[in-house]
């Protein structure tokens, strides 16, 4: 039984030449064992020996043995590829260069896309973590907020069984920290619950993970922050002094939070330090709330239960503060209150609420860049195919000879594809070198910090390996099939017209390339225009020559003396104390109503800024009616200055001065606070240039966190020195923090600047690669028409006529690609611009300029070759045989 | 030429083929190895070595007449070729020459250890 099975197995794998005598040996040994040791042993021994006979040298012929032949063939293919590359060094260089540059561009794009997609996925259980977001609407005010009321987290945790835990953070601020006798201005500080720490499970370096922030006056530091404060000392249990008021104990140190996280905090203070975190107020949304569910499928169920939950808890306070029945209001459509969960991993790419925690990406950008990357690679592949088919004539003879000598078609295909893959691999190596060379520039542009994106952990190298083969196959397959299809008789008789068969294809490819280039050039021109439009638009205030001193609340009572001291300097034209500074996103939103209004429905969501009497003078804010605050008039404490937009919303179009507005709180029982309008300011862009101007009101009041100084032209350095010296006299060692308003303003355009740079870089890349291709192609076509040019010249054609002849074809192709690219660019840019409330109109001249630019560049590219050919002595052209 | 080195086991098999002349076939070679060296050797090891030696040209083989033993299957009889003989001689000379170059002192010391 075992013996016959063994025999079968043996016959299956053994080479037939050896089968007989080895089986004979086995049989003989079997009989010997049968006599000496019995049947069971003999059977077993036989079977084991069969298994042990499974050796390479005894196997049937198989892929392992054939492999030997295969590798020699590949070796030969590589040798031929190398020779053909060396024979046409110029073309090969062009090809390689184009491929390498576009590979590098694609690698960069892949890095960017991969990074964008990786956001927040590094947290353990990230798929079970959600953020609470809401959509709120009452009257004409709409909000989309990533925040929830203070009792929300605690209440859902108590009432919903599927909620494992819920935790909150609030704020992202900068404070003065004293460690021993050293001061640090520490940015990115937030307040957080112990539950927040439990949800995200940051990797803890030291401390007790269950007791990080569960007591007041405790802080958790990021590793790098801890090192900044304490050097190599153990931070746990150490005390730091926050804001010069409160001593806090360090209870934990966590590893630095990865860059691909939707929030960015360096230091966490216990939420128990905030009074407002437990006031049980359901009508304000200030807490970023995270929920961990038992499993991710419960999201929909959670969202479904929200409405009843909200009415139960919020309804009473709506009644109390707004005088409305929540259920009725929702039914009548007077208000809309929706709270829902956002999956953690979707926050970065899919969420764009008001007041996100940091700059978010968009999935559209990810798609857009993936498409651009694919296009760039496509252009390079097209170049490769173009050159290969154009040079078909040269290789045709080789193909003919090979076929006559017995090459099969699939062998030829193999040969050309090997050649393509070899080229692409070389290009990939160069491309990777380029990537590492330009990595610092890339990091600066994208504000990321990648160090070893290809060969580091989670690097891209496996994808690149795959890409090399795919691109090689793609770029190599067309020439491979064309070239291998030549009939040897025709080729050797010289009947293959030199590459003309695929002329239409080459033309299409050229058109696609230039359409992409024109699209990108036009796009970058328009982004540039829109950006300079925004930057040069009248703001409504004067942003130049303003120095801002921060953290002035540290001076306490001495702030006024500090201000007076500053004003003494003749270079200082004015100074104003207010934490509300235009363009800094200092936001403070509260609803107001016209005086006669009786229902909360008429509320107007208004930005409320507290300023001093010098504010308008320092920032050059223009009043269209009335006057600014006067510190000698006591009545000005209940005065307000509104902008034109607010006036329109309140309905005070005529004679606004002296009219009054009142707060939403207390409308129902007539206990609103009222303010008299004493001035109307011209609308100015108090937030940024990319949003609409909303209702805005100034009040005389205390906001002492910053002091703004308007200084004389050219006196910046002097004034900074003076302000710093004065500060040092007053502040006793606390650090002097300052910035310039025009700089802050400029920083607002970072994301647009980035879009501009990215567009430009890709436009330059695309046009370079396309021109490389065109250059090679022109050289080739000119060479082909050598004879024709010679004859024309002999017959009396001028250099100019010849040039026109050579340019004609390319010019038509580029005009065609312009016709293709312009509508696409128009559509895309219109879409992009529509996101801006203040935007340029699309100027047809841009399309003209883009097309003309591309034409000129391509003429220059083709021109060198053409001119050389046209000016050559016709004898040389005709005598080449 | 690559692949014409003699491995230790290959050399052993080649020598045994010579010893057994003219009756060297797979199983007899295996038995002889076991008897002479007290090593455990599988049939597979012997055959694979024989096949490699034949590829390298050190052995040639032909099938003997069929008998009634072995289920009527023929034996493959191996003989050493001129190449094989040369390779064996070269190895033998190399070993002798190397052995003779060892100073007496070294051998004496080796005994002590």
Query: Cβ separation of A57 and B43 shorter than 8 Å?
Result: no
Higher pLDDT, A618 or A508: A618
Query: Cβ separation of B51 and A54 shorter than 8 Å?
Result: no
> Given this model, what pLDDT does residue A494 score?
66
Element (H, E) at B76: strand B76-80
Contacts of A27 in chain B (CB under 8 A): 70-71, 73
Q: Is the pLDDT assigned to residue B113 strictly greater than 80?
A: no
pLDDT 10s digits, A330-380: 887 778 889 999 999 999 988 888 778 877 778 887 888 888 888 788 877
Band (B4; pLDDT cuts 50, 70, 90)? low
> Given this model, what pLDDT does residue B3 score?
52
pLDDT 10s digits, B88-101: 998 899 989 998 88
Query: Cβ separation of A28 and B27 shorter than 8 Å?
Result: yes
Provide the angle, in degrees to the nearest 10, between the axes of the packed helices A750-784 and A503-536: 150
> How does the average pLDDT of chain B come out, rounded?
85
Q: Which residues 81-100 in chain B show a CB within 8 A of chain A? A: none
User: How much is the ipTM here?
Assistant: 0.83
CA distance A159 to A10: 70
Tell me the mean pLDDT in the region A220-244. 91
Band (A155; pLDDT cuts 50, 70, 90)? very high
Distances in whole angstroms, Cα of residue A78 to Cα of each of A188, A389, A417, A420, A477: 57, 19, 10, 10, 16
> Given this model, what pLDDT does residue A77 score?
80
Select, from the ranges A85-89, A172-176, A695-699, the one with the highest average predicted confidence (pLDDT).
A695-699
> Given this model, what pLDDT does residue A502 score?
63
Length of chain B in terms of residues written: 113
> Given this model, what pLDDT does residue A80 score?
83
What residues contact residue A392 under an 8 Å CB cut-off, 6+ apart? A479, A482, A483, A496, A498, A499, A502
pLDDT 10s digits, A606-625: 888 999 999 999 999 989 98
User: 3-class SS at A730?
Assistant: helix
% of residues, chain B, pLDDT over 70: 91
Q: Is the pLDDT assigned to residue A391 strictly greater than 90?
A: no
Q: B51 and A65 in contact (C-beta within 8 Å)?
A: no
Band (B1; pLDDT cuts 50, 70, 90)? very low
Nearest to B43 among A26, A56, A57 (CB): A26
Burial A844-868 (b: 16+ CB within 10 A, else e): eebbeebbebbbebbbebbbebbee
Tell me the mean pLDDT in the region A481-504. 70
Phi and psi dihedrals of A740, rounded to 5? Answer: -105, 140
Q: Which residues pair with A268 in a beta bridge?
A: A190, A220
Domains and CATH numbers, chain B: 8-112 (1.10.10.10)
Q: Is the pLDDT assigned to residue B2 strictly greater than 50?
A: no
Q: Is the pLDDT assigned to residue A10 strictly greater than 50?
A: yes
Cα R_g (chain B), whole angstroms: 17
Q: Is the pLDDT assigned to residue A169 strictly greater than 90?
A: yes
> Given this model, what pLDDT does residue A501 score?
53
A19-33, A58-72, A102-116, A228-242: the lowest-pLDDT one: A58-72
Nearest to B51 among A23, A52, A57 (CB): A57
% of residues, chain A, pLDDT over 70: 95
CA distance B102 to B104: 6
A60-69, A528-537, A802-811: the lowest-pLDDT one: A60-69
> How does the average pLDDT of chain A come out, rounded?
85
Distances in whole angstroms, Cα of residue A132 to Cα of each of A147, A295, A339, A531, A762: 6, 16, 7, 35, 38
Cα R_g (chain A), whole angstroms: 38
Distances in whole angstroms, Cα of residue A107 to Cα of each of A112, A234, A449, A470, A728: 9, 42, 16, 15, 51
Chain A residues with CB under 8 Å of a chain B CB are 18, 20-29, 31, 49, 52-58
Q: Is the pLDDT assigned to residue A745 strictly greater than 90?
A: no
Q: Is the pLDDT assigned to residue A425 strictly greater than 60?
A: yes
pLDDT 10s digits, A556-605: 888 889 999 999 988 899 999 998 888 776 667 788 888 887 777 778 88
CA distance A105 to A378: 12
Contacts of B71 in chain A (CB under 8 A): 23-24, 27
pLDDT 10s digits, A65-83: 555 556 677 778 888 888 8
Of A408, A412, A415, A414, the C-alpha closest to A484 is A412
Q: Are strands A335-343 and A288-293 parallel, antiparallel or unpaired?
A: unpaired
CA distance A223 to A266: 8
Provide the angle, in degrees to the nearest 10, between the axes of the packed helices A799-833 and A750-784: 150
Q: Is the pLDDT assigned to residue A27 strictly greater than 50?
A: yes
Contacts of B75 in chain A (CB under 8 A): 21, 24-25
Tell me the mean pLDDT in the region A54-66. 69
% of residues, chain A, pLDDT over 90: 26
Tell me the mean pLDDT in the region A107-119. 88
Tell me the mean pLDDT in the region A752-770. 80
> Given this model, what pLDDT does residue A822 score?
94
> Given this model, what pLDDT does residue A260 score?
87
> Given this model, what pLDDT does residue A9 score?
86
Q: Enter the DSSP assignment of A283.
A: S
CA distance A664 to A599: 9
> Given this model, what pLDDT does residue A819 score?
94
Distances in whole angstroms, Cα of residue A215 to Cα of each of A193, A237, A248, A273: 10, 13, 10, 9
Please tell me if residue B3 touches chain A, with a CB cutoff of 8 Å.
no
> Given this model, what pLDDT does residue A99 score?
86
């Amino acid at each position: 039984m075992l013996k016959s099975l063994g025999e079968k197995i043996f016959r299956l794998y053994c080479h037939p030449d050896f089968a007989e005598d080895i089986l004979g040996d086995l049989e003989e040994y079997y009989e010997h064992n049968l006599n000496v040791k019995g049947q069971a042993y003999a059977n077993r021994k036989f079977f084991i020996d069969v298994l042990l006979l499974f050796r390479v040298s005894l196997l049937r012929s198989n892929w392992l043995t054939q492999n030997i032949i295969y590798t020699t063939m590949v070796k030969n293919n590589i040798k031929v590829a190398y020779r053909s590359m060396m024979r046409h060094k110029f073309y090969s260089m062009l090809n390689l260069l184009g491929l390498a540059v576009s590979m590098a561009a694609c690698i960069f794009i892949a890095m960017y896309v991969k990074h964008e997609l990786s956001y927040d996925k590094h947290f353990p259980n990230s798929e079970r973590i959600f953020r609470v977001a809401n959509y709120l609407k009452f009257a004409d005010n709409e909000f989309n907020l990533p925040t929830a009321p203070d009792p929300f987290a605690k209440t859902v945790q108590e009432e919903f069984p599927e909620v494992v835990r819920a935790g909150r953070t609030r704020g992202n601020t900068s404070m003065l920290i004293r460690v021993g006798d050293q001061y640090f201005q520490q940015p990115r500080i937030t307040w957080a619950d112990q539950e927040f720490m439990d949800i995200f499970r940051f990797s803890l370096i030291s401390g007790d993970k269950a007791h990080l922030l569960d007591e007041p006056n405790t802080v958790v530091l990021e590793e790098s922050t801890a090192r900044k404060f304490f050097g190599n000392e153990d931070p746990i249990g150490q005390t730091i002094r926050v804001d010069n008021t409160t001593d806090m104990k360090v209870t934990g140190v966590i590893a630095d939070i990865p860059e691909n996280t939707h929030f960015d905090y360096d230091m966490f203070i216990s939420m128990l330090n905030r009074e407002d975190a437990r006031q049980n107020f359901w009508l304000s949304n200030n807490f970023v709330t995270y929920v961990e569910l038992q499993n991710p499928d419960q999201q929909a169920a959670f969202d479904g239960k929200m409405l009843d939950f909200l009415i139960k808890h919020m309804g009473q306070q709506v009644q109390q503060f707004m005088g409305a029945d929540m259920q009725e209001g929702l039914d009548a459509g007077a208000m809309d209150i929706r709270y829902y969960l956002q999956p953690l991993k979707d926050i970065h790419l899919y969420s764009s609420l008001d007041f996100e925690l940091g700059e978010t990406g968009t999935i559209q950008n990810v798609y857009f860049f993936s498409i651009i990357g694919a296009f760039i690679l496509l252009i390079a592949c097209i170049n490769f195919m173009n050159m290969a088919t154009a040079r078909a004539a040269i290789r045709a003879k080789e193909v003919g000879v090979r076929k006559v000598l017995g090459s099969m078609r699939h062998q030829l295909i193999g040969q050309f594809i090997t050649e393509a893959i070899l080229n692409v691999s070389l290009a990939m190596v160069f491309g990777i070198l380029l990537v590492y060379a330009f990595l610092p520039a890339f990091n600066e542009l994208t504000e990321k910090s990648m160090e070893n994106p290809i060969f580091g952990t989670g690097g891209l190298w496996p994808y690149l390996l795959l890409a090399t083969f795919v691109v090689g196959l793609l770029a190599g397959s067309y020439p491979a099939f064309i070239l291998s299809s030549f009939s040897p008789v025709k080729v050797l008789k010289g009947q293959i017209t030199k590459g003309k068969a695929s002329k239409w294809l080459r033309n299409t490819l050229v058109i696609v390339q230039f359409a992409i280039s024109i699209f990108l050039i036009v796009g970058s021109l328009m982004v540039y225009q829109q950006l300079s439009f925004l930057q040069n638009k009248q703001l409504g205030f004067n942003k130049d020559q303003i120095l801002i001193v921060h953290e002035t609340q540290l001076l306490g009572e001495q702030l006024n003396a500090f201000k007076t001291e500053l004003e003494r300097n003749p270079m200082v034209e004015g100074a104003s104390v207010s934490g509300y500074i235009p363009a800094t996103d200092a936001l403070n939103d509260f609803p107001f109503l016209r005086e006669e209004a009786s229902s909360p429905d008429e509320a107007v969501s208004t930005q409320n800024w507290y300023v001093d009497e010098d504010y308008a003078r320092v920032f050059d804010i223009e009043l269209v009616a009335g006057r600014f605050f006067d510190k000698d008039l006591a009545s000005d404490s209940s005065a307000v200055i509104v902008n034109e937009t607010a006036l329109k919303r309140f309905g005070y179009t005529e004679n606004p001065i002296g009219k009054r507005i009142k707060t939403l709180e207390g409308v129902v029982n007539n206990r609103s606070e009222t303010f008299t309008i004493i001035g109307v300011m011209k609308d100015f862009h108090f937030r940024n240039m990319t949003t609409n101007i909303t209702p805005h009101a100034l009040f005389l009041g205390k906001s002492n966190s910053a002091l703004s100084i308007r200084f004389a032209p050219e006196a910046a350095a002097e004034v900074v020195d003076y302000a710093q010296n004065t500060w040092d006299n007053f502040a006793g060692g606390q650090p002097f923090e300052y910035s310039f308003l025009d700089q802050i303003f400029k920083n607002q355009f970072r994301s647009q600047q980035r879009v501009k740079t990215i567009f430009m870089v890709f436009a330059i890349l695309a046009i370079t690669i396309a021109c490389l291709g065109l250059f090679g192609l022109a050289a080739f076509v000119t060479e082909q028409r050598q004879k024709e040019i010679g004859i024309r010249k002999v017959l009396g054609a001028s250099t100019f006529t010849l040039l026109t002849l050579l340019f004609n074809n390319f010019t038509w192709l580029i005009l065609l690609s312009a016709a293709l690219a312009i509508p696409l660019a128009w559509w895309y840019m219109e879409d992009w611009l529509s996101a801006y409330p203040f935007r340029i109109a699309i100027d047809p001249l841009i399309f003209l300029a883009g097309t003309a630019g591309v034409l000129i560049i391509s003429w220059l590219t083709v021109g060198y070759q053409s001119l050389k050919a046209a000016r050559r002595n016709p004898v040389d052209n005709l005598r080449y045989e | 030429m690559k692949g014409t080195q003699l491995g230790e086991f290959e050399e052993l098999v080649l020598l045994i083929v010579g010893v057994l002349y003219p009756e060297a076939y797979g199983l007899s070679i295996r038995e002889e190895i076991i008897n002479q060296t007290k090593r455990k050797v599988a049939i597979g090891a012997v055959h694979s070595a024989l096949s490699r030696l034949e590829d390298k040209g050190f052995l040639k083989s032909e099938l003997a007449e069929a008998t009634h033993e072995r289920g009527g299957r023929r034996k493959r009889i191996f003989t050493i070729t001129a190449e094989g003989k040369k390779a064996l001689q070269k190895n033998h000379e190399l070993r002798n020459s190397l052995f003779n170059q060892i100073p007496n002192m070294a051998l004496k010391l080796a005994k002590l250890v």
